[in-house]
Amino acid sequence: MKVIIAEKPSVARDIAKVLDIKAAKKGYIEGRGCAVTWAFGHLVTLQEPGEYNPALKRWSLESLPFVPDEFKLKLISNRGVDEQFQIIKNLCEQAEEIVCATDAGREGELIFRYILALSGCEDKPIRRLWLNSLTPDAILAAFKDLKDGHDYDPLYAAARCRSESDWIVGLNATRFYTVKHGRIGGGNDRVLWTIGRVQTPVLAMIVERDDTILQFRPQLFWELTTRYRDVTFKYTGKRFEKPEKAQNLLNKITDQPFEITTVVGKKKKDQAPQLFDLTTLQRELNKLHTISAADTLSATQSLYEAKLVTYPRTDSRYLSEDMKPRIPKILAQLKTLRPEQISPVDLTKLPFSKRIINDKKVTDHHAIIPTGMIPGRIGTNEQLVYDAITTQFIAAFYSVCLKNITTVKGVSQTIQFQARGTQIVDPGWTVLFPKKKKSADGQTLPAFEKGESGSHEPSLREGKTIPPKHFSENTLLGAMEAAGKFVEDDSLREALKERGIGTPATRAAIIETLLRRNYIRREKKQLRCTDMGRCLIALIKDPLLKSPEMTGEWEEKLKQIERNELDPNDFMNGIGTYIRKMIQNSTSRQLDTSRWGKCPLCGKEVIKGHKAFGCSDWKEGCPFVLEPDCKGKMLTARQIQMLLQQQILPHPIRIDDELRLLILSTRGMLTDLRRPSADRQKRSTKTDRRSP
């Protein structure tokens, strides 16, 4: 008997239907010498420390670090898991061959191999079904091309290393920081500080961005412009930090003629957008419709299981060469849904450029595209995601957008000015994206001639520098993809992708985990750190534990294991060495007793006044003041130093909160973390511009 193990019941039913297997049994479908069964996603997980040794159920510093010589498995304690696993185990024990039909990726491989390991059937012959979509044609084609299951041993090794390294770092760091820094108010209650190999660097990125914004001090500047023939010309030099010089130039050119010195026209081609990978799709849906990354993934997975789009958990924006014959057929099927959009495309001569077809840029899965099947009634999110994928797919085969960009330079009393304007010659693919038509150089220019001159209207504009923006899910996903080096340019992001944090399949879950643990919160489109999140990052001494670049390197090593370029034992030995050093080196912070600390608002030194502590830059308007008497409880000098030097402070500080997250015991442990974040946010801010 051949046993086929799918990841979900719905996929198992699709496979059984295509293979004409009809006899429904409890937990599987049988027929034609096959049994098609299913998991519920993950059925098997790694054992907890207390299951290796009962003494490890108690959390203590003395038991850390704990790194098992050999990891052991157990069933996940969810309803129905025991029964379904026993069905799979019985089938595998009878099987002559076992086919892995779980999702074609790292986690799908892990689900299958963990089931085999726990059922004791690892020595059975295995084959691998590799699906890019769940259409009947794709399923039949994949079954005709079954691979030897052991061809995917490197993929399993990478998946196992990911699972075990997350366990080692997460468990040891969480226990260490919870035991060391989790005591509340000297009592027996503790705060659970949850730390992860991937989630903590992501949190650190958000905290750093929020602190940069909160410490930002806007600077005034002045810009010199002039209006000539109803066109705004900008001064070509740098903007002015002081108004006097700008005013001198303004006085110099007032009532003086303005002359056109150069008119240069240049043609520009904007290439059609590339196809979607998961991260780019999530970013686009968040930017246009504020749909979370998790909801976008869920909707795309639903579309995949409904056979409407191809496999979603991909990091490629390209198609493979063997896809070429299928593309015209897909577009022809979609023509009934999008006749006006597809009619301009010649399906007999599609422009298969390297931006679309590139075998070198396709690893496990190609870009997300429609399958050609027409959707019936689907959910709102599913419809938005399907429309985005379909439009992007059609746009890839449209012509380029042609523009004429004109640069005009002028002068008045030797002061140089410049204006730019854009004229759309052929909109090409942009007709499919009406919201994207506007150009940064949207000024319409009249016909200028070199040497012409006339009167103009110069003026000064006063402005202020602005801080960077808080992360949205769109920009955070971009930062995670580029290991913190977030850039807008597609090609540069592609070059940096190998050092990203997490994978396309896990980034949404990382964001949701931080939200669920109250380390970050959503504020409209923004993702912002909470006091809990800021405190956690302040407590972590080891820089590597919160380093996006280091985590990016770990992710790259996992990809090397997938490609069979790195021994998984070397990676795991490195993780074990790291966690041992981290715990050894993470002693309590040594306070600099010669100073109080830095102002959490502007970064300047804090000084002690007669009644309170405050920013040394108070004369320049910094409002930070910390009174040692907080709601009738007096902070000691050591507590003040710990607050300021570890920067465990809300921004801006709320003096009237009942200890809030501010008060530290003499042992350096945080107090009053039990009050809900929403309640804390209702409190008002009190500041004092007087000297402390």
Q: Does residue 92 lie within any of the structural domains?
A: yes
Q: Within this chain, do residues 297 and 328 fall inside the same structural domain, yes or no?
A: yes
Residue, of 444 and 331, whose pLDDT is higher: 331
pLDDT band at 551 (very low <50, low <70, confident <90, very high): confident
- The maximal CA–CA distance of the chain, rounded, in angstroms, is 96
Residue 372 has pLDDT above 90, yes or no: yes
Q: What is the dihedral of CA 502, 505, 506, 512, to 10 degrees?
A: 140
CATH number, domain with residue 137: 3.40.50.140
- Among 359, 380, 395, the domain boundary falls at 395
Q: Within this chain, do residues 36 and 158 fall inside the same structural domain, yes or no?
A: yes
Residues 261-287 have pLDDT tens digits of: 999 999 999 999 999 999 999 999 999
Residue 685 has pLDDT above 50, yes or no: no
Write out the two tokens for 252.
């110099």
Residue 495 has pLDDT above 60, yes or no: no
Residue 683 has pLDDT above 80, yes or no: no
Q: Does residue 688 lie within any of the structural domains?
A: no
pLDDT band at 539 (very low <50, low <70, confident <90, very high): confident
The closest alpha carbon to 92, from 112, 68, 73, 72, belongs to 112
Residues 373-394 have pLDDT tens digits of: 999 999 999 999 999 999 999 9
Q: Within this chain, do residues 13 and 152 fall inside the same structural domain, yes or no?
A: yes
Q: Does residue 598 lie within any of the structural domains?
A: no
The mean pLDDT value for 532-544 works out to: 86
Note whether 250 and 233 are within 8 A (CB).
no
Q: Does residue 687 lie within any of the structural domains?
A: no
Between 37-51, 215-229, 675-689, the lowest mean confidence (pLDDT) is in: 675-689
pLDDT for 190 equals 73
Note whether 363 and 277 are within 8 A (CB).
no
pLDDT for 484 equals 53
Between 5-9, 211-215, 578-582, 622-626, the lowest mean confidence (pLDDT) is in: 622-626
CA-based radius of gyration for the chain: 30
Q: Within this chain, do residues 143 and 8 fall inside the same structural domain, yes or no?
A: yes
Sign of CA dihedral 295, 301, 304, 309: positive
607 forms beta bridges with: 614
Q: Within this chain, do residues 526 and 512 fall inside the same structural domain, yes or no?
A: yes
Q: Does residue 689 lie within any of the structural domains?
A: no
User: Over the chain, what is the mean pLDDT?
Assistant: 86
411 forms beta bridges with: 259, 416
Note whether 303 and 382 are within 8 A (CB).
yes
- Among 414, 430, 464, the domain boundary falls at 464
Write out the two tokens for 276.
């979607």
H or E segment to which residue 281 belongs:
helix 278-289
Q: Within this chain, do residues 445 and 514 fall inside the same structural domain, yes or no?
A: no
- Is the bond into 652 cis (omega within 30 degrees of 0)? yes
- Rounded Cα gap, residues 114 and 120, in angstroms: 10
The mean pLDDT value for 286-305 works out to: 96
Q: Within this chain, do residues 349 and 497 fall inside the same structural domain, yes or no?
A: no
The mean pLDDT value for 25-43 works out to: 96
Residues 175-222 have pLDDT tens digits of: 999 998 876 544 556 789 999 999 999 999 999 999 889 888 899 999
- Among 439, 464, 489, the domain boundary falls at 464
Residue 16 has pLDDT above 90, yes or no: yes
Under DSSP, the state recorded for 134 is: -
Catalytic residues: 311
- Rounded Cα gap, residues 552 and 465, in angstroms: 32
Residues 601-626 have pLDDT tens digits of: 777 888 888 888 888 888 888 888 88
Q: Cα 680 vs. chain centroid, distance in angstroms?
A: 28
pLDDT for 183 equals 67
The residue segments making up the domain with residue 621 are 606-681
CATH number, domain with residue 576: 1.10.460.10
Residues 583-601 have pLDDT tens digits of: 988 754 455 556 787 787 7
CATH number, domain with residue 445: 2.70.20.10
Residues 143-180 have pLDDT tens digits of: 999 999 999 999 999 999 999 999 999 999 999 999 98
Q: Within this chain, do residues 78 and 65 fall inside the same structural domain, yes or no?
A: yes
Residues 496-532 have pLDDT tens digits of: 456 688 888 899 999 999 999 999 999 999 999 988 8
- Rounded Cα gap, residues 604 and 651, in angstroms: 15
Domains in the chain, number: 5
Between 7-16, 69-78, 399-408, 440-449, the lowest mean confidence (pLDDT) is in: 440-449
Q: Within this chain, do residues 7 and 144 fall inside the same structural domain, yes or no?
A: yes
Q: What 3-state DSSP class applies to 378?
A: coil
Q: Within this chain, do residues 17 and 96 fall inside the same structural domain, yes or no?
A: yes
pLDDT for 667 equals 27
Between 29-33, 214-218, 288-292, 355-359, the lowest mean confidence (pLDDT) is in: 214-218
CATH number, domain with residue 361: 1.10.290.10
The closest alpha carbon to 670, from 684, 660, 655, 683, belongs to 660
| 646: region left, alpha or beta (phi > 0 left; psi from -120 to 50 alpha) | alpha
Residue, of 546 and 586, whose pLDDT is higher: 546
Quickly tell me which residue has 């059925």 as its tokens.
43
Between 460-464, 476-480, 489-493, the lowest mean confidence (pLDDT) is in: 489-493
Q: Within this chain, do residues 384 and 417 fall inside the same structural domain, yes or no?
A: no
Q: Does residue 406 lie within any of the structural domains?
A: yes
- Rounded Cα gap, residues 438 and 73, in angstroms: 56
Write out the two tokens for 33.
């010498």
Q: Within this chain, do residues 13 and 150 fall inside the same structural domain, yes or no?
A: yes
Under DSSP, the state recorded for 299 is: H
